[in-house]
Structure 1
Amino acid sequence: MKKQNKPKVSFVHKALNGVEVVGNRLPDPSILFFLMCVGLAVITWVVSLFQVSVKHPGTGDAVAIKSIISKDGITMIFNDAIQNFSEFPALGLVLSVMLGIGIAEKTGYFDKLMIQVVQKAPKKFIVPCIIIIGILGNAAGDAAPIVLPPLTAIVFIKLGYHPIAGLAMAYAAALGGFSANFLIGMSDALLYAFTKPATNIVSDSIQTNVAMNWYFIAASVVVLLPAVYWVTMKIVIPRLGTYDASDTDITSEDSDTTISPKEKRAVFWANISFVAVIVLIVVTAIPQNSFLRNAKTGSLLNDAPIINGVGLLILILFLVPGLVYGIMTQKLANSKDLGKMLADSMSSMGSFIVIVFFAAQLLAFLEWSNLGIIVAVKGAALLQGQNGIVLIIGIILLSSIINLLIGSASAKWGILAPIFIPMLVLVGFHPAFTQMLYRIGDSITNPITPMMPYLPLLLSYAQKYDPKMKLGSLLSSLMPYSIVLGIVWPLFMIIWFLLGWPLGPGGPIFSK
């Protein structure tokens, strides 16, 4: 008998399989975050034995490591633990948004809408459109990684792909492409708030503005789209293979691809209501004295209710069409039906809330102990005396590594801006250039950082389709995006740098 040859497994697939095996040996995410808190406390104690300190580049004050395993550290834990949890940045936003999404999902609006999209749109355009929506979704803050993945999973089922591939693609597009957009958005304003004072440390004459990265971030959308698409079609989808819903709690109703005339009418009017809410928000925001604007400056970006209340706006944006669809299809016959759907939406968030408790403590430990600042300052010192392409690679790499420790983009930039910007201004680079390098590094590891509060949420989405899904398996589907973005985006910046093009209006590469 002729011996059959085993199919060859590519190096990439072997590496991802290794990541999956190692990752799956990790404990439950909530326990993992607890162990990380314990490990961080031990690290701060060990480092404190050597009396490590740095000079804060902004204030000039000495910043010393503080041990969590100390009287002050234990006092901090007891004083702040509950407050850290209750004030965790993403908790209120996620739970609020899930109320609106829950109604739109439980009534069946999302499912029937996706069926219509799949039935009407050419198949080859659906996936690129989702990627674009994910990248552009960062203009609304943190909405895209919450809203888009579950919708994409439904679409992928209809397309015949594995739904977890859709979850991974949407999450990676939204977070990996966080610093790319055709529009100037909230992230531009938040980063500029730290860039300007950091520039003033060494020079009051250099002009900066919110839009100084606009040209590059807009061009980046065009570059990242094919990169994310290639990873999805060539690596993630083939690796996950076909999807079998027999072992999950996905019902036949969930996979039903039919849509009745009554449901078509309901979807139509729900879509009309969705557009009407958007138009109402836009029209309301236009007047200079609008309650959605900053009362003092009239800005729609800086400390404006439309940005501060983005979670409430998203809740309303999905709640309204969900209600319209539910009422027209009689899925919502009375207030009891509505209350049950709202409760069901929250019940699915239990594991996420548990994880958030420990994740909040971890972030608080990093800040209180000054370990985050010390790591940033020590790492940035390695870049001194470098220039050009070496600086590009160095700052992007350092930013991407620090992103694995600190999730908040504005918090990291608040630490790094007073370090990076003065240093690079002194060697002739404009703050727009430095800011953009940081934004690239901050984005490319977003899909795989455990500090991103939406990773546990994504895992809960994935477990709906695969109850045995573990963190390692999920990360093995996300890592290819970070690897490819970590190659493509810095190369694009190097080409841009060599061409000498401005990064945006009032944003040249060189300040001299």
Structure 2
Amino acid sequence: MKADKQALGEQGPQGMLGKALDSIERVGNKLPDPAMLFLILMFAVWALSALLSGVSFEAIDPTTNSPIVVHNLLTAEALTKFLTSMVTTFTAFAPLGVVLVAMLGVGVAEHSGFINTALKRMLKITPAKFLTPAVVLVGIISHTATDAGYVVVIPLAGVIFFTVGRHPLAGIAAAFAGVSGGFCANFIPSGIDPLLQSFTQAAAQIVDPTIEVNPLNNWFFAASSCIPITLVIWYLTDKVLEPRLNRTHKVNREEVDLPAMEEEKPSEIKAFRVASLVMVVAIAAFFSLTVPETSTLRDANGSLTSFKAPLMQSIVPLIFIFFMLPGLVYGYMTGAFKTSGDVVQAMSKSMSGMSHYIVMAFFCAQFVAAFSASNLGALIAVEGAGGLKALNLPAEITVVGMIILVGFVNLFVGSSSAKWALIGPVLVPMLMQLNISPDLSQAAYRVGDSSSNIITPLMPYFPLVVVYCQRYVKNIGIGTLISMMLPFSLALMSIWSVWLLAYWALGFPLGLGASYTYGL
């Protein structure tokens, strides 16, 4: 009888899901190394651009108001430009600088022992059963500091889970789902709000030149979304992913290069308190500089949170400084650092762990540049939006269809602003004809834009997360990470869509000055 129940359980939803994810992992891990995958994709884009360059498309690029033209990347001129810009394409690749600069400061804090002690102190006050939701919430809130979550929260989540005896890949997955899957949810307004609003308003003014959209038109919905997102990720991490990882990807704890979490010494506690005080004072002193309306850290309009504000453009250097300072204080007080050479050595160790990512970033940068230059991304986005418009479905179904479309397009066009600039001018006016407000259209876009971030290798930080995983399990590949994150992606898209429809049905306000309907 027991054997029959066990066999039945293996055929149940959990067993079927496990088999499906195992298959995805096997197939995915047969793909080439991420660096070579980006190279192959670049060649594929070249070939496709040559094939489609002679085709006339009716799709109109809303940014130029002219038909989309696919550019042939195999012409002599295009190949010459590729060769002459190869170095600058790599060095200008935004995620590369973000990761390396931030990791220099984090490396000092880590190898001095400051982060180790900070984690021990944190674990003493965080109940074990609430560790997962705490990691997820920190990941969601990290959006306020642009890309900080990718270079700080995700790797630290792995360390925290490893420290308490849980599977580190489960911590990385939970943080990744919070940082990237919950990208458009946050309690705190961030630069993404006015950025999306600017494109939404421009698209809406195609139909109504006098309409204005509030930059915080989705704030209430984005804040409320933290609730279902945290609960979904919490459940999937603890009940689905981690049990599977414990069966399929056991961690040899002796091989993991992490300092042992021993009991704190009095000297370490004293050094931690002083180092933390230095960090708090430095942060307070810096932000006091933002208070004056004439602060040079504000943009031309006096805003601190717009993407043009120097404060927002300084987030990565600030991460470097605010990790470096306590790391130095702690290291010298405990004796971990005796000379400046020890500090440089700590930075070098941090960079050595990034060597694989640097190689991947080189090929990723070349692919992204080729995909953008070919105009294939614009074609996919606009044709998809046009197809949805042609279906002429009821309003609720259209909104869900928009979410699915955006999630699909997101697999190919990673930039949130670029996607909305392309499909917003098609979808926003279309939905306005159905009496659906631009505010609701933008909310639907945010759901679709976030949900599929965590399953596309074309997302610039995806290879970095693979590197984080390989710190604990050496044979991790793209397929493993996709199989880990797929349940999160599908669940987030489904439940978040239902949350939006319920929010709409109950008439809760989307944000400041927002509405659900547009009166023609």
Return closer, same or farther for 1:246/1:223 CA change in 2, 3 Å cut-off: closer
Question: Is the 8 Å Cα contact of residues 158 and 257 (structure 1) preserved in structure 2?
Answer: no
Cα separation, partners in 2 of 1:387 and 1:140, compared to 1, 3 Å:
farther
* CA deviation profile, 1:14-53 (whole Å, cap 9, x unmatched): 1111111011101111001101111122222222343335
Distance across 2 between alignment mates of 1:395 and 1:168: 27
Q: How far 1:170 sits from its partner (Å)?
A: 0.6
**Equivalent pair of 1:248/1:464 in contact (CA under 8 Å):** no
- Please state how far the C-alpha of 1:203 moved relative to its aligned partner: 1.4
* 1:277 Cα deviation after fit: 2.8
Q: Is the counterpart of residue 269 in structure 1 residue 274 in structure 2?
A: yes
Q: CA deviation at 1:108?
A: 1.6
One-letter code of the match for 2:415? S
Misfit runs of 4+, over 3 Å: 2-7, 49-53
Q: Distance in 2 between matches of 1:244 and 1:347?
A: 22
One-letter amino acid of the counterpart of residue 302, structure 2: G
Of 433, 438, 450 in structure 1, the residue corresponding to residue 445 of structure 2 is 438
Deviates more, 1:46-55 or 1:25-34: 46-55
* Match status 1:343 vs 2:348: yes
Q: Specify the code of the residue in structure 1 equivalent to 2:65.
A: G
Question: Is 1:498 aligned to 2:505, yes or no?
Answer: yes
Does the alignment pair 1:51 with 2:56?
yes
* Offset at residue 126 of structure 1 (A): 2.3
Q: Distance in 1 between matches of 2:315 and 2:274?
A: 24
1:82 aligns with 2:87: yes
> Which segment is superposed worse, 437-446 or 242-251?
242-251
Give 1:325's aligned residue. Answer: 330
Whether 2:16 is the aligned partner of 1:14: answer: no
Task: Please point out which of 115, 130, 135 is paired with 1:130.
Answer: 135
Q: Which residue does 2:265 correspond to in 1?
A: 260
User: Residue by residue, what CA displacement relative to the aligned partner does 1:465-510 show, whole Å, maximum 9, x if unpaired?
Assistant: 1122222112211212111101110111111222233311111111
Q: Given the two structures, how large is their TM-score scaled by the length of structure 1?
A: 0.95
The correspondence of residues 184-263 of structure 1 with structure 2, limited to 5 A, is: 184-241=189-246, 243-246=250-253, 248-250=255-257, 254-263=259-268
- Secondary structure of 1:245 counterpart: coil
Gaps of 5+ in 2: none
Gaps of 5+ in 1: none
1:422-478 per-position Cα deviation (integer Å, ceiling 9, x unaligned): 222233222111111111111001111112221111111111111222221122112
Whole-angstrom CA distance in 1 between matches of 2:35 and 2:222? 35
One-letter amino acid of the structure 1 residue matched with residue 39 of structure 2: F
Matched, 1:305 2:307: no
| Secondary structure of 1:489 counterpart | helix
Q: Which moved more, 1:420-429 or 1:436-445?
A: 420-429
1:91 aligns with 2:96: yes
Whole-Å Cα distance in 2 between the matches of residues 151 and 348 of structure 1?
15
How many percent identity over aligned positions? 34
Distance 1:339 1:250, change over 3 A: closer
Whole-angstrom CA distance in 2 between matches of 1:281 and 1:226 = 35
Is 1:453 aligned to 2:455, yes or no? no
Query: What letter matches 2:414 in structure 1?
Result: G
- The alpha-carbon deviation at position 417 of structure 1 amounts to 2.0
8 Å CA contact retained: 1:137, 1:174: yes
Residue by residue over 1:182-227, the C-alpha shift from the partner in whole angstroms, topping out at 9 and shown as x without a partner, is 1110111221232222222221222211100011001001121111
Q: Does the CA-based 8 Å contact 1:429-1:511 persist in structure 2?
A: yes
Aligned length: 508
In 2, the alpha carbon distance for the partners of 1:447 and 1:28 equals: 18
In the alignment, the residues of structure 1 paired with residue 198 and residue 89 of structure 2 have an alpha-carbon distance, to the nearest angstrom, of: 24
- Please say which of residues 334-343 and 497-506 is displaced more in the overlay: 497-506
Kept after mapping to 1: 8 A contact 2:45/2:374: no
Once structures 1 and 2 are overlaid, which stretch shifts more, 86-95 or 54-63?
54-63
- Contact 1:248 1:467 (8 Å CA) reproduced: no
Quick one: distance in 2 between partners of 1:354 and 1:133? 29
CA distance in structure 2 between the partners assigned to 1:246 and 1:287 by the alignment = 51
Write the distance in 1 (CA, Å) between the matches of 2:63 and 2:426: 8
Q: Deviations over 1:251-307 (max 9, x none)?
A: 5xx23332211111122222222322332232221111112111x221112211100
How many angstroms apart in 2 are the aligned matches of 1:272 and 1:462? 32
Partner SS for 2:208: coil
> 1:167 aligned to 2:167?
no
* Distance (whole Å) between structure 2 residues aligned to residue 244 and residue 377 of structure 1: 45
Q: Could you tell me which residue of structure 2 aligns to residue 140 of structure 1?
A: 145
Indicate whether 1:428 and 2:435 are aligned.
yes
Deviation sequence 1:319-366 (CA, Å, 0-9, x none)? 111112111111111111111111222222111111111111222222
Deviations 1:112-148 (A, max 9, x none): 2112222333212222111111111111111112111
Question: Offset at 1:74?
Answer: 1.8
